[in-house]
A and B are shown apart, each in its own frame.
Chain A
Amino acid sequence: MIYFDYAATTPVDKRVIKSMIPFLNEKFGNPSSMHSFSSDTKKALEKSRSIIAKAIKANPEEIVFTSSATESNNMALKGIAFAKKSGHILVSSIEHDCVLNAAKWLGKNGFEVEFLPVDKYGIVDPKEVEKRIKKNTILVSVMHVNNEVGTIQPIEAIGKICKKNNIYFHSDAAQSFSKTPINITNIDLLTISSQKIYGPKGAAALFIKDGVKIEPLLHGGGQERGLRSSTENVPAIVGFAKATEIAISTMDKEQERLTKLRDKIIEKLTKEVPNCYLNGHKTKRISNNINVRFSHIEGEAILFMLNSYGIAVSTASACSSPKLEPSHVLSAMGLKQEEAHGSIRISLGRMTKESEVNYLLKVLPEVVKKLRDISPHK
Chain B
Amino acid sequence: MNYSKEVLKHFSKPHNYGKIDNYDGLGRVGNMACGDEMFVYIKVKDNIIKDIKFETFGCVAAIATSSVLTDLAKKKTIEDALKITRQDVVDALETLPPIKIHCSVLAIDALSEAVYNYYTKNKLPISKELEEKHNQIIKRESCHL
Contact = CB atoms under 8 A, between A and B. Distances in A.
B34 A324 contact: yes
Interface stretch (B52-60, B80-88, B121-129, B132-140): B52-60
A375 B59 contact: no
Interface stretch (A100-108, A192-200, A299-307, A351-359): A299-307
A70 to B, nearest CB: 23
Contacts of A305: 11-12
Contacts of B12: 305, 308
Interface in B1-40: 1, 3, 8, 11-12, 14, 17-18, 28, 33-39
A374 B17 contact: yes
B63 interface: yes
Nearest to B17: A374
Interface stretch (A124-132, A246-254, A261-269, A314-322): A314-322
B99 interface: yes
Contacts of B36: 298, 319, 341
Given A319-B34, A319-B36, A374-B17, A304 B56 contact: no
B145 interface: yes
A140 to B, nearest CB: 33
A317 B14 CA distance: 21
Contacts of B3: 304
Interface residues of A, number: 24
A297 B57 contact: yes
Nearest to B103: A319
B13 to A, nearest CB: 10
Interface string B42-86: 000000000000011111101100000000000000000000000
Q: With a 10 A CB-CB cut-off, give which of A297, A320, A326, A376 has the most chain B CB atoms.
A: A376
Chain B interface size, under 10 / 10 to 19 / 20 to 34 / 35 or more? 20 to 34
Q: With a 10 A CB-CB cut-off, give which of A300, A317, A326 has the most chain B CB atoms.
A: A300
A374 B56 contact: yes
Contact of B35 (A300, A304, A341): A341
A300 B60 contact: yes
Contacts of B58: 298, 301, 319
A257 interface: no
Nearest to A378: B55
Given A301-B63, A304-B11, A376 B34 contact: no
The 6 residue pairs across chains A and B that have the minimum distance between CB atoms: A319-B59, A376-B55, A318-B34, A300-B59, A324-B34, A375-B57
22 contacts: A297-B57, A298-B58, A304-B1, A304-B60, A305-B12, A308-B8, A317-B59, A318-B35, A319-B34, A319-B62, A320-B59, A322-B99, A324-B33, A324-B99, A336-B145, A341-B34, A374-B55, A374-B56, A374-B63, A375-B56, A376-B55, A377-B37
Given A304-B8, A375-B57, 19 more contacts: A300-B1, A300-B59, A300-B60, A301-B63, A304-B60, A308-B8, A318-B35, A320-B1, A320-B59, A322-B99, A337-B35, A338-B35, A338-B145, A341-B34, A341-B36, A374-B17, A374-B56, A376-B57, A377-B57
